A and B are shown apart, each in its own frame.
Chain A
Amino acid sequence: MSDPAQTAPRPRRSLLQTDAGTRRRNAAERRFRTYGAAAILTAMAALAVLMFTVFRDGASAFVQARATIPVVIAADVVDPQGNRDPAEMAKILTMSYSRLLDQALTREIARSGIQVGGLTQRDITGFLSAQARADLRRAVLADPSLVGQEIEWRMMTSSRVDAMLKGRITREMAARDARTSVAQYDLAMALRDRGVVRAGFNWRFITAPDGSDSRPEAAGLGVAILGSFYMMLIVLVLALPIGVAASIWLEEFAPKNRLTDVIEVNISNLAAVPSIVFGILGLAAFINFVGLPRSAPIVGGLVLTLMTLPTIIISTRAALKAVPPSIRDAALGVGASRMQTVFHHVLPLAMPGVLTGTILGLAQALGETAPLMLIGMVAFVTTYPSAPPQGLFDPASALPVQIYNWTQRADPAFFERASGAIIVLLAFLLAMNLIAIWLRRKFERRW
């Protein structure tokens, strides 16, 4: 027993002087703050570089050069029988319409008095998108009264001409490229100067289905966005109730024993399972065993649901745990049953956390690629899935898979599209995060 009053008096030191120990401690604190700031700056710089390159490469995907020229729908070409019968006219293939467009473009060049040396037929045909003839054919078949008329027709130029206008292909590059020529470049510039070819916002990029390798200008994200939307719908409808119910049971009702311990550990483990494993599971279980169709949003949605469930369960349980026990006591104390306690008091208070977790889980699922590739969503799909519920079984693509798909293709125009698609995906993710923040604010209650 030592009496504190008996110990030797501490030497009196001035408060105005910091001693060595304090100085060391302050220095350590300053160092630590610097490390933190440096870490944040590194992360911000990486993000800035990423954003810059994506927008530099992808922003131009939202703009497309289009030519507007008068086209004569020659009756002898598109309707040799002369009876305006769509069934008969359907026998005329797109090649014939290509001739119409070539003639129209040649006439337009002559009319505007453009002199380009060395212009070949191939340059003329390659000037317009291969999609343009298909569009024209579709328009004529839909409205046979167009036959024989001259119409102002607005159509996409080919991806190379588009790239010339955007400056991605220069005159020197055109000379070296076997698929284009200096003459085509000069023609593009001349037509642009005369206002025949103009760049405009490319709605088609967002709404159209994927295009083939030879017509990147026609490729769009329509099917991918729909497919991703359907899958998110399935994930939301399945994962939210299942995840919340599982969390409530584990957190509020489950007895604490070996079985629930095993369940808990395995939920944490599931959250760490690589997503491609879920893809293999989906392939084995949903496609091979249950027999659901390949490439269908229903399978993708189920796989992503399995993947998202642990995320939702973990965040929901954290949110439930954060509700003070005094609220449960209060409700039980006035004679609420355990279920009433949970649904009247605990869950509403946990709602911001639940919704934030769910939306972050959805955002993670939206960007998931690997499992979807295993269940066949890499397929080349040019038809839109129909409306749900039938559409859930139709083949579709998904945004991240579409991005991956486009980066695999040879034409540099697809690289531009892939970057553009990343911007679209980021926009969706940003929107979902904003919704999460908004919901959190809206449901937040203080106690």
Chain B
Amino acid sequence: MNQMTQAERSVQTETRDVKFECRDVQVWYGEKHALKDVGVDILDKTVTAFIGPSGCGKSTFLRCLNRMNDTIAAARVGGQMLLDGEDIYDPRVDPVQLRARVGMVFQKPNPFPKSIYDNVAYGPRIHGLAPTRADLDAVVEKSLRRAALWDDVKDRLGETGTSLSGGQQQRLCIARAIATSPEVLLMDEPCSALDPIATAQIEELIDELRDRYSVVIVTHSMQQAARVSQKTAFFHLGHLVEYASTDDIFTSPKDPRTESYITGRIG
């Protein structure tokens, strides 16, 4: 599915700008210290994978990046997370504006029970990104094309999003997320509810999305991380253990914990 070799891709990462600059990030769920001293620079136009055993904090960290943790009453976040140099946890920041710039795709495909068109058009509508109907049509088509779904659904945009197959639903969710022209796309195990063919399509799509967006993907599958990402971060028990180029993580890990995880001894 992926024509480029690992080596070709890793070369390109060196020149990228830093999109997210995270320092000393802490997260507490009530009394539980779920994430400790995490510091990561997430690059633009790069796919960054977060791997690690269940409960290691990788999803928690992902949800901090667009402040989805705000919806959990018991969650507290500390440290610094800068998007293009601006602190996203600054009291002046409206999470609504942040989420328009940092889109999210969830583990389970969760299209709205509305038409395919309305699913994609929802974000641009509430953010006022497409003032006329023609603009909106253009945004919907562009987003669906970029999510590789346009040819499947162009004749049935009025049908409900939930009538699609699982893989198509997840691509619809990706189209919905990119319709607001975000700069960063967060994906929380986007393929875990999909069959291998749909997974392959999504992975291919992720690779194409790298042209325009900074993509952060949480995955349980190390093969997937190796296939789609250029940078990989390994989390363990709330700590960021190692963060390096994907090649280095999988070929010459520096931390023994990383090595035991990728060789299947922990996790």
Binding site for B on A (CB under 8 A): 255-256, 324, 326-337, 340, 344-345, 349, 445-447
- Return chain A residues, CB-CB under 8 Å to B71: 328-329, 332
| A334 near B180: Cβ-Cβ < 8 Å | yes
Minimum CB–CB distance for A322 against chain B, Å: 13
Instruction: Please give me the residue from chain B that is nearest to A334 by CB atom.
Output: B123
Complex Cα distance, B173 from A335, in Å, reads 14
Given A328-B71, A340-B126, A446-B162: A333 and B99 interface contact (C-beta under 8 Å)? yes
Interface size of B by Cβ–Cβ distance < 8 Å? 29
Given A256-B73, A446-B162, A447-B162: A333 and B113 interface contact (C-beta under 8 Å)? no
Given contacts A334-B104, A446-B162, list 11 more A-B pairs with CB under 8 A: A328-B71, A329-B110, A331-B112, A332-B71, A333-B105, A333-B177, A334-B122, A334-B180, A335-B99, A344-B126, A349-B113
Given A255-B73, A447-B162: A337 and B112 interface contact (C-beta under 8 Å)? no
> Which of B66, B98, B127, B173 touches A330 (beta carbons < 8 Å)?
B173
Instruction: Please give me the residue from chain A that is nearest to B74 by CB atom.
Output: A256
22 contacts between A and B (CB under 8 A): A326-B108, A326-B110, A327-B110, A327-B112, A329-B71, A329-B104, A329-B110, A330-B110, A330-B173, A330-B176, A332-B99, A333-B105, A333-B106, A334-B99, A334-B126, A334-B176, A334-B177, A335-B96, A335-B97, A335-B99, A335-B180, A340-B126
Instruction: Please give me the residue from chain A that is nearest to B66 by CB atom.
Output: A333
Complex Cα distance, B173 from A329, in Å, reads 12
> Which of A329, A340, A344, A345 touches B68 (beta carbons < 8 Å)?
A329
Given A335-B123, A336-B96, A336-B126: A330 and B73 interface contact (C-beta under 8 Å)? no
Q: Indicate the member of A330, A333, A334, A445 with the most B CB atoms within 10 Å.
A: A334
Count of CB-CB pairs between chains A and B under 8 Å: 69
| A333 near B126: Cβ-Cβ < 8 Å | no
Minimum CB–CB distance for B194 against chain A, Å: 15
- Return chain B residues, CB-CB under 8 Å to A336: 96, 122, 126
Complex Cα distance, B114 from A345, in Å, reads 9
Complex Cα distance, B110 from A326, in Å, reads 6
| B96 near A344: Cβ-Cβ < 8 Å | no
Minimum CB–CB distance for B68 against chain A, Å: 7
Q: Indicate the member of A332, A349, A446 with the most B CB atoms within 10 Å.
A: A332
Complex Cα distance, B112 from A349, in Å, reads 10
Minimum CB–CB distance for A335 against chain B, Å: 4
Complex Cα distance, B70 from A255, in Å, reads 12
Complex Cα distance, B176 from A447, in Å, reads 17
- Return chain B residues, CB-CB under 8 Å to A344: 122, 126
- Return chain A residues, CB-CB under 8 Å to B66: 333
State which residues 113-130 of B face A: CB under 8 Å: 113, 122-123, 126-127
Complex Cα distance, B162 from A317, in Å, reads 25
Instruction: Please give me the residue from chain A that is nearest to B173 by CB atom.
Output: A330
> B57 in the interface, Cβ–Cβ < 8 Å?
no
- Return chain B residues, CB-CB under 8 Å to A446: 113, 162
Minimum CB–CB distance for A201 against chain B, Å: 48
Complex Cα distance, B99 from A345, in Å, reads 17
Complex Cα distance, B171 from A418, in Å, reads 64
State which residues 129-171 of B face A: CB under 8 Å: 160, 162
Complex Cα distance, B113 from A360, in Å, reads 26
Which 6 interchain pairs have the tightest Cβ spacing?
Answer: A326-B110, A335-B99, A335-B100, A333-B104, A334-B123, A445-B113
| B126 near A335: Cβ-Cβ < 8 Å | yes
Minimum CB–CB distance for A440 against chain B, Å: 15
Q: Indicate the member of B100, B108, B122, B177 with the most A CB atoms within 10 Å.
A: B122
Minimum CB–CB distance for A330 against chain B, Å: 4
Complex Cα distance, B73 from A334, in Å, reads 20
Complex Cα distance, B55 from A196, in Å, reads 90
Minimum CB–CB distance for B70 against chain A, Å: 9
Minimum CB–CB distance for B184 against chain A, Å: 12
- Return chain B residues, CB-CB under 8 Å to A324: 110
Minimum CB–CB distance for A313 against chain B, Å: 21
Minimum CB–CB distance for A191 against chain B, Å: 67
Given A255-B73, A328-B71, A446-B162: A337 and B110 interface contact (C-beta under 8 Å)? no
> B111 in the interface, Cβ–Cβ < 8 Å?
yes
- Return chain A residues, CB-CB under 8 Å to B122: 331, 334, 336, 344
| A333 near B180: Cβ-Cβ < 8 Å | no
Minimum CB–CB distance for A172 against chain B, Å: 70
- Return chain A residues, CB-CB under 8 Å to B160: 445
> Which of A255, A329, A333, A335 touches B127 (beta carbons < 8 Å)?
A335
Q: Indicate the member of B105, B112, B177, B180 with the most A CB atoms within 10 Å.
A: B112
> B190 in the interface, Cβ–Cβ < 8 Å?
no
- Return chain B residues, CB-CB under 8 Å to A331: 112, 122
Q: Indicate the member of B99, B110, B111, B127 with the most A CB atoms within 10 Å.
A: B110
| B126 near A329: Cβ-Cβ < 8 Å | no
Contact flags B11-46 to A (C-beta < 8 A → 1, else 0): 000000000000000000000000000000000000
> B103 in the interface, Cβ–Cβ < 8 Å?
yes
- Return chain A residues, CB-CB under 8 Å to B176: 330, 334
Minimum CB–CB distance for A249 against chain B, Å: 15
- Return chain B residues, CB-CB under 8 Å to A329: 68, 71, 104, 106, 110
- Return chain B residues, CB-CB under 8 Å to A326: 106, 108, 110
Instruction: Please give me the residue from chain B that is nearest to A324 by CB atom.
Output: B110
Complex Cα distance, B112 from A445, in Å, reads 10
Instruction: Please give me the residue from chain B that is nearest to A337 by CB atom.
Output: B96
Contact flags B66-88 to A (C-beta < 8 A → 1, else 0): 10100101000000000000000
- Return chain A residues, CB-CB under 8 Å to B99: 332-335
- Return chain B residues, CB-CB under 8 Å to A337: 96
Complex Cα distance, B96 from A335, in Å, reads 5
Minimum CB–CB distance for A285 against chain B, Å: 36
- Return chain A residues, CB-CB under 8 Å to B106: 326, 329-330, 333
Minimum CB–CB distance for A108 against chain B, Å: 71
Minimum CB–CB distance for A416 against chain B, Å: 52
Complex Cα distance, B70 from A444, in Å, reads 30
Minimum CB–CB distance for B232 against chain A, Å: 24
Minimum CB–CB distance for B198 against chain A, Å: 18
Complex Cα distance, B98 from A333, in Å, reads 10
Instruction: Please give me the residue from chain A that is nearest to B119 by CB atom.
Output: A330
Complex Cα distance, B106 from A349, in Å, reads 20
